[in-house]
């Protein structure tokens, strides 16, 4: 005889622990859950509003320098360590978790121009206005020991910047010429080399492309070997494909003054730029305009900027002797998230993305407060640009067809490529 | 360079020596001999003493005194090594360079060699070709840089596939190359373990002796070495590739064997046919892609044709053919076979004709089809009638016609001809129909439609006012009248349905026209401020308002809704009215309102065409335009745009009017059945009258339809432009319609849908992309050729399968 018994899997209804939430069987019949679009729209709207309310990117200010901070360096192995060099030649090592200065040393006479931590993280190099390259130990000297560089290389001219190879003991300096150095030697291996040996991160001031204005700094995309972005004096940033230098891939504009520094996020999807107009802006790598603008009342011209290598923070060093720590995503919650929290964040993120074109949501998510000076300046710039465009259009209209070719925004900024 | 210099030097030294000889002749013998001896000694002997030197100096002085010019030589005390070289070669004085003669000096003992070298030197002297000067440093550097740049850019391009892959990836988890989580092997964890017991030691010593791995998964040194030589990934790829090729090879071998064994003639014939077809196809492609190769193929064909002609193959002279010829009288199959053979012969001996002129013809055609008016500025002929604006697509045909000087032909059924071409028409009736008629057929149909409607329109236009009055009455009137009215309404609905078809037809045509009309100015830069062609819209809206709390956000959104509604109200007429009215007409409207003339009356009347003597600025042009205008007018003679519009508006009004809701239940509380109406009192009781809506916005605007359906409060939340990645509204709507949340989806789907694009770990350092990532790239590169291989063999496979099928069929 066959006996049929109702059987249920206890996994479906029994909680694992008391703290678990009761499992509720759900019926996903769409007729039972009407108005899905309006409901989700409301949720998206709320999510955007909350995002704006919780957008508090400023985390901390590290003060201690006695002059404007000129450069910074990330530690390749430790997230919490950061180095900064100021205009009076002083160098400070910071612990970011404790937000305090760990070590101070007088590195150079005059500006500390550049700084880089070697790939292994045990030492770092500094270049200064006193025409020297100095190598220092990462550890603080013990009691009674003097603060002395491991090596000092005297150069012929001032070095303006330095960068280290990602995997080898090779570093690059630039000044009047570009030098490639071995860590072990006191003479450059190669000087004035144009072909760069490593694709990972060797940066130097570009000389190949003549632009309308001077390019300040340059940063390679860490995930795309051939793309780099350079910041320019003409308020714009340009992303180039190194193989085709005659036209930038993207022109990023929004700043209202010279852009002084740029750094890519380690994911290679975005980059952050520091400007003379006292703001920091975050750009998606392929967008012409910024997605975020950071500013504070007290922050002056931002000279140097770094994106932390865990993609969560941004460090900015400015003229008024402070280093500021920002969140890379303004509304992001810091620290560990519970799985439910995480899924909620993901969901709201998705909703925002889904309804991003709806006018209300777009308006709220795009609104940013700007200091009056910058606001009016950007307005002025816009008017100027419009006027220029109008004039060009009129000239074209009144000249022989074909005599005034349409020059795209991208083409406008590159004068020539020097071989 | 150095060589040439040397030769030059040698020449000079020769002269020097000869001059010296002449000088020497004049000297005393003793001295001469001494000097010569000096020379010889100084040259030949390894270490000249200080005496020799002194003598030499004296000699030089003597010579210089003889020469008249006083040459001063620096005589300094110096190291011997400077003057006396280890190669037995010496320069004459201090500061002198070594001359060739010095070198020859040592050869005195062997005169034959001397002569030889002399000859050589002479030759050298005669040889005057110089080497080219090398490039300047700047230029060489430039070239070097260029080469290096090319090299690096090539090297960098290897990353392209990886980069693209990452860009297209649905989700990227950073850091990219994470070690697989989970328990590690014991051998990796326990490193410092030692064999302790004697047994263990013995075993391990044995194992070590044989170089065996101590633990199961650990490899022998040789294996490790081999692994090191080739990375695991590569090895895997390699192995997979080899496997594949092996399998493919065996497969094709087997297949070939199978096919070879087939005896069926028909099968082979079919196969040949297929091959031929394939070959032809290939040839066609080749003609397109590689004409040179195609030409060669052609030559080959030609050759085969010649051979065929020379031979007697496929002609009726063979043994088989003769036998068949005998059989052909009686056997149908034999006859057919013969015919086939003859055909083959014909095919093979036929000369090929290469089509060459097609392209040119095509070009001509395309040139003809391109109308000239594309770039012309649109002339405004008739400001009131939108039909008269813009040029129609019919224009090119008309031009043709005008070229041919064929007077236009108009069929009789044209509704209302304009005055201007009345006379012409009568003449033209007798003429033949031309092609443009086919073009005008579309218009004709429309006209017919219109004519049928026109019959109705005349009374309808009369009725219009009545209708309106009736509608007014309707509200006040009694129930009895209402019953009648309803039936009337039904009729009206029927009629209007008919109209609707025509109207929709008309509007679609109109939209097309308007589009055509709008296109020409599109090539001008858009006038919208702040939006360039290149620029993408700003991602941020920067303002002076700081958002701190939710209330601020609310304020923000209200702000926008207010501004949006303002915008929308300005937009609505533009978007919703049936596009007939442009801005100029709005201005007209205002003027009209001022004049207080009832526009209904004005509009329903026919517009009079006033003939004005046109000032002939460019006579031909004017004539052309005039003609064209006439043609267009002709084409749309039946289309009464204005009455159409009015009808449309009326319909909209009616649709907006609330309907009376009838809730009577027949048979409830009284007798029911066929032909029985519910009682009057009941009807009165259960008929729900809905309050009339507020007056329409366009009530007093005669030539505007404002859609009441559009709710501005909702419009503030609606997307008015199709966002970028979407191609059509339905696509966008679909994405919006599909819900994301867990209310509508199961947990797994929600997780899948809401997975973020970029995932980073807290506190993990993300390193830049490394060389190891290129391996993936390599793998793709390796797999790609194999894919190509497949695709190359694809058609063959297909063919084979087809053949197989055919074969099977045949067997069946």
Q: Which of B 561-590 lie inside 8 A of A, CB atoms?
A: 561, 564
Predicted confidence (pLDDT) at residue A44 exceeds the cutoff of 60: yes
Predicted confidence (pLDDT) at residue B504 exceeds the cutoff of 80: no
Taking a C-beta distance cutoff of 8 angstroms, is the pair B294, B283 a contact?
yes
Answer with the residue of higher pLDDT: B61 or A295.
A295
Any chain A CB within 8 A of the CB of B247?
no
Q: Would you state the pLDDT for residue B33?
A: 53
Number of Cβ within 10 Å of residue B414's Cβ equals 18
Q: Would you state the pLDDT for residue B367?
A: 39
Contact B174 A382 (CB under 8 A): no
Q: Which residue of B has its CA nearest to A50?
A: B550
**Average pLDDT estimate for B116-141:** 81
**Average pLDDT estimate for B191-210:** 80
As for the ipTM of the complex, it is 0.84
Q: How far apart are the first and last CA of chain B?
A: 89
Lowest-pLDDT range of A138-142, B111-115, B266-270, B692-696: B111-115
| A292 band by pLDDT with thresholds 50, 70 and 90 | very high
Q: Which of A222, A224, A363 sits opposite B557 (nearest CB)?
A: A363
Any chain A CB within 8 A of the CB of B774?
no
Between chain A and chain B, the number of residue pairs with CB atoms below 8 A apart is 231
| B320 band by pLDDT with thresholds 50, 70 and 90 | confident
Read off the pTM: 0.55
Question: What pLDDT, in 10s, does the model give residues A196-222?
Answer: 333 333 444 333 444 444 567 778 888
Predicted confidence (pLDDT) at residue B261 exceeds the cutoff of 50: yes
Answer with the residue of higher pLDDT: A280 or B775.
A280
With beta carbons under 8 A apart, name residues in chain B contacting A357. Answer: 719, 721, 723
Lowest-pLDDT range of A128-137, B280-289, B297-306, B517-526: B517-526
Q: Would you state the pLDDT for residue B449?
A: 55
Q: Would you state the pLDDT for residue B399?
A: 44
Question: What pLDDT, in 10s, does the model give residues B273-289?
Answer: 999 999 889 888 888 88
Contact A375 B152 (CB under 8 A): no
| B766 band by pLDDT with thresholds 50, 70 and 90 | confident
Question: What pLDDT, in 10s, does the model give residues B479-488?
Answer: 444 444 444 4
Helix pair A359-366, A36-54: axis angle to 10 deg: 10
Question: Mutation test of the interface with chain B: which of A226, A264, A289, A387, choosing the one with the most B Cβ atoms within 10 A?
Answer: A226
Answer with the residue of higher pLDDT: B680 or B409.
B680
Percent of chain B with pLDDT over 70: 48
CA atoms within 13 A of residue A216's CA, in its CB half-sphere: 22
**Average pLDDT estimate for B162-187:** 78
Any chain A CB within 8 A of the CB of B776?
no
Answer with the residue of higher pLDDT: B461 or B705.
B705
What are the angstrom distances between the C-alpha of A107 and each of A112, A120, A309, B239, B366?
Answer: 7, 21, 25, 56, 76
| Distance of alpha carbon B341 from alpha carbon A363, whole angstroms | 81
Residue A347 DSSP SS3: helix
Taking a C-beta distance cutoff of 8 angstroms, is the pair A364, B557 a contact?
yes
Q: Looking at the DSSP assignment, which residues form a beta bridge with residue A275? A: A259
| B749 band by pLDDT with thresholds 50, 70 and 90 | very high
Helices (H), B67-218: 80-83, 100-105, 111-126, 137-157, 160-168, 186-189, 198-209
Any chain A CB within 8 A of the CB of B298?
no
Q: Would you state the pLDDT for residue A147?
A: 81
| Distance of alpha carbon B528 from alpha carbon B525, whole angstroms | 9
Q: Which of B547, B550, B561 sits opposite A367 (nearest CB)?
A: B547
Answer with the residue of higher pLDDT: B759 or B466.
B759
| B205 band by pLDDT with thresholds 50, 70 and 90 | confident
Taking a C-beta distance cutoff of 8 angstroms, is the pair A307, A265 a contact?
yes
Q: Looking at the DSSP assignment, which residues form a beta bridge with residue A292? A: A282
Answer with the residue of higher pLDDT: A139 or B558.
A139
Q: Which residue of A has its CA nearest to B738?
A: A37
With beta carbons under 8 A apart, name residues in chain B contacting A288. Answer: 534-536
Q: Which of B 7-66 lie inside 8 A of A, CB atoms?
A: none
Q: Would you state the pLDDT for residue B643?
A: 86
Q: Would you state the pLDDT for residue A53?
A: 93
Helix pair B436-476, B395-404: axis angle to 10 deg: 140
Taking a C-beta distance cutoff of 8 angstroms, is the pair A182, A170 a contact?
yes
Question: What pLDDT, in 10s, does the model give residues B588-604?
Answer: 444 444 444 454 554 44
DSSP state at residue B434: -
CA distance A372 to chain B (A): 6
With beta carbons under 8 A apart, name residues in chain B contacting A358. Answer: 717-719
**Average pLDDT estimate for B288-294:** 85
Backbone phi, psi, residue B176, to 5°: -70, -50
Across chain A, mean pLDDT equals 86
Strands B758-760 and B172-174: parallel
**Which residues in B788-810 are b (16+ Cβ under 10 Å) and which e?**
eeeeeeeeeeeebeebeeebeee
Q: Would you state the pLDDT for residue B189?
A: 65
| Distance of alpha carbon B660 from alpha carbon B637, whole angstroms | 40
Q: Which of A 376-395 lie inside 8 A of B, CB atoms?
A: 378, 382, 386, 389, 393
Contact B766 A224 (CB under 8 A): no
**Average pLDDT estimate for A222-245:** 86
Lowest-pLDDT range of A333-347, B57-71, B386-400: B386-400
CA distance B776 to chain A (A): 15
Contact A288 B535 (CB under 8 A): yes
Element (H, E) at A123: strand A123-128
């Amino acid at each position: 005889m066959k006996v049929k018994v109702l059987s249920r899997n206890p996994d479906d209804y029994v909680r694992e622990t008391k703290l678990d939430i009761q499992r509720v069987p759900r019926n996903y019949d769409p007729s039972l859950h009407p108005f899905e679009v309006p409901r989700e729209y409301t949720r998206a709207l709320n999510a955007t509003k909350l995002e704006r309310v919780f957008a508090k990117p400023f985390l901390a200010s590290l003060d201690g320098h006695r002059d404007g901070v000129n450069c910074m360096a990330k530690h390749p192995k430790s997230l919490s360590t950061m180095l900064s060099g100021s205009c009076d030649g002083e160098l400070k090592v910071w612990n970011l978790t404790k937000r305090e200065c760990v070590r101070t040393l007088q590195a150079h006479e005059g500006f500390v121009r550049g700084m880089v931590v070697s790939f292994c993280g045990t030492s770092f190099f500094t270049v200064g206005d006193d025409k020297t390259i100095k190598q220092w130990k990462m550890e603080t000297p013990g009691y009674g020991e003097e603060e002395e560089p491991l090596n000092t290389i005297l150069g012929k001219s001032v070095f303006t910047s330095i960068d280290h190879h990602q995997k080898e003991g090779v570093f690059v300096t630039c000044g009047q010429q570009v030098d490639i150095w071995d860590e072990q030697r006191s003479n450059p291996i190669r000087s004035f080399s144009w072909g760069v040996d490593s694709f990972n991160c060797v940066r130097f001031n570009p000389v190949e492309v003549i632009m309308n204005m001077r390019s300040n700094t340059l940063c390679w995309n860490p995930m795309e070997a051939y793309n780099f972005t350079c910041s320019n004096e003409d308020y714009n940033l340009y992303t180039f494909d190194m193989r085709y230098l005659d036209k930038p891939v993207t022109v990023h504009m929004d700043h209202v003054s010279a852009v002084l520094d740029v750094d890519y996020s380690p994911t290679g999807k975005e980059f952050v730029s520091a400007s003379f107009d006292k703001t920091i802006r975050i750009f998606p790598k392929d967008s012409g305009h910024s997605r975020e603008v950071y500013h504070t009342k007290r922050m002056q011209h931002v000279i140097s900027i770094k994106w932390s290598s865990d993609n969560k923070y941004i460090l900015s060093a400015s003229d008024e002797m402070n280093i500021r720590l920002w969140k890379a995503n303004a509304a992001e919650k810091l620290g560990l998230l519970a799985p439910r929290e995480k899924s909620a964040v993901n969901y709201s993120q998705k909703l925002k993305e889904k309804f991003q074109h709806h006018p209300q949501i777009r308006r709220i998510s795009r609104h940013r407060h700007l200091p009056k000076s910058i606001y009016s300046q950007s307005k002025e710039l816009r008017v100027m640009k419009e006027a220029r465009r109008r004039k060009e259009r009129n000239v074209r209209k009144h000249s022989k067809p074909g005599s005034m070719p349409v020059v795209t925004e991208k083409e406008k900024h590159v004068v020539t490529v020097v071989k | 360079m150095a060589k040439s210099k040397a030769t030059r030097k040698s020449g000079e030294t020769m002269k020097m020596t000869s001059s010296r000889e002449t000088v020497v002749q004049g000297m005393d013998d003793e001295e001469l001999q001494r000097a010569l001896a000096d020379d010889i000694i100084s040259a030949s002997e390894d270490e000249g003493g200080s005496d020799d030197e002194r003598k030499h100096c004296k000699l030089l002085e003597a010579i210089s005194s003889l020469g008249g010019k006083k040459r001063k030589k620096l005589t300094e005390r110096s190291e011997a090594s400077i003057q006396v070289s280890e190669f037995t070669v010496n320069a004459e004085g201090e500061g002198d360079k070594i001359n060739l003669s010095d070198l020859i000096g040592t050869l005195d003992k062997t005169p034959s060699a001397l002569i030889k070298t002399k000859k050589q030197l002479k030759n050298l002297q005669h040889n005057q070709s110089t080497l080219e000067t090398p490039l300047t440093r700047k230029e060489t550097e430039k070239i070097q840089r260029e080469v290096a740049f090319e090299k690096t850019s090539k090297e960098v391009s290897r990353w392209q596939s990886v980069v693209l892959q990452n860009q297209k990836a649905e989700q990227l988890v950073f850091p990219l190359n994470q070690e697989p989580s989970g328990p590690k092997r014991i051998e990796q964890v326990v490193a410092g373990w030692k064999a302790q017991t004697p047994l263990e030691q013995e075993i391990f010593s044995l194992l070590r002796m044989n170089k065996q791995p101590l633990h199961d998964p650990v490899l022998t040194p040789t294996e490790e070495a081999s692994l090191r030589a080739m990375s695991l990934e590569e090895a895997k790829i390699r192995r997979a590739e080899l496997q594949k090729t092996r399998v493919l090879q065996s497969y094709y071998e087997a297949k070939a064997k199978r096919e070879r064994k087939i005896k069926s003639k028909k099968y082979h014939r079919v196969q040949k046919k297929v091959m031929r077809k394939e070959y032809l196809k290939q040839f066609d492609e080749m003609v397109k892609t590689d004409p040179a190769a195609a030409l060669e193929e052609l030559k080959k064909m030609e050759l085969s044709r010649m051979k065929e002609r020379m031979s007697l193959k496929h002609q009726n002279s063979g043994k088989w053919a003769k036998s068949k010829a005998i059989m052909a009288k009686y056997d149908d199959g034999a006859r057919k076979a013969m015919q086939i053979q003859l055909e083959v012969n014909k095919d093979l001996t036929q000369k090929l004709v290469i089509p060459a002129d097609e392209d040119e013809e095509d070009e001509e055609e395309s040139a003809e089809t391109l109308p000239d008016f594309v770039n012309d500025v649109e002339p405004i002929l008739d400001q009131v009638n939108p039909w008269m604006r813009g040029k129609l697509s019919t224009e090119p045909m008309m031009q043709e016609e005008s070229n041919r000087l064929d007077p236009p032909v108009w069929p009789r059924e044209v509704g209302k001809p304009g005055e201007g071409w009345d006379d012409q028409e009568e003449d033209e009736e007798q003429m033949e129909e031309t092609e443009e008629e086919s073009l005008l057929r579309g218009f004709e149909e429309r006209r017919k439609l219109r004519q049928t409607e026109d019959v109705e329109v005349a009374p309808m236009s009369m009725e219009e006012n009545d209708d309106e009055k009736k509608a007014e009455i309707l509200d006040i009137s009694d129930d009895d009248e209402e019953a009648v009215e309803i039936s009337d309404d039904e009729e009206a609905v029927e009629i209007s349905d008919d109209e609707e078809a025509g109207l929709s037809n008309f509007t679609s045509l109109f939209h097309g026209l308007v589009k055509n009309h709008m296109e020409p100015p599109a090539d001008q830069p858009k006038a919208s401020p702040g939006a360039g062609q290149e620029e993408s819209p700003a991602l941020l809206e920067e303002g002076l308002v700081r958002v701190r709390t939710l209330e601020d956000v609310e304020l923000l959104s209200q702000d926008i809704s207010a501004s949006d509604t303002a915008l929308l109200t300005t937009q609505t007429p533009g978007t919703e009215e049936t596009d007939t009215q442009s801005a100029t007409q709005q201005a007209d409207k205002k003027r009209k309102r001022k004049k207080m003339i009832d526009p209904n009356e004005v509009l329903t009347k026919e517009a009079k065409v006033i003939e004005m003597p046109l000032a002939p600025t460019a006579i031909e042009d004017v004539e052309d335009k005039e003609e064209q205008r006439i043609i267009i007018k002709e084409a749309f003679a039946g289309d009464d745009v204005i009455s159409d519009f009015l009808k449309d508006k009326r319909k909209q009004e009616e649709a907006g009017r609330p309907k009376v809701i009838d809730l009577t239940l027949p048979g409830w509380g009284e007798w029911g059945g066929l032909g029985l109406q519910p009682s009057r009192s009941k009807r009165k009781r259960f008929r729900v009258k809905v309050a009339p809506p507020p007056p329409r916005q366009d009530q007093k605007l005669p030539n505007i339809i404002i859609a009441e359906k559009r709710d501005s409060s909702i419009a503030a939340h609606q997307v008015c432009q199709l966002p970028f990645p979407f191609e059509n509204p339905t696509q966008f709507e679909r994405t919006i319609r599909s819900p994301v949340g867990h209310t509508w989806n199961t947990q797994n789907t929600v997780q899948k849908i809401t997975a973020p694009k970029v995932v980073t770990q807290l506190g993990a350092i993300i390193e830049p992309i490394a060389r190891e990532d290129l391996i993936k790239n390599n793998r793709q590169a390796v797999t790609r050729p194999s894919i190509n291989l497949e695709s190359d063999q694809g058609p063959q496979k297909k063919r084979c399968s087809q053949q197989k099928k055919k074969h099977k069929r045949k067997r069946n």
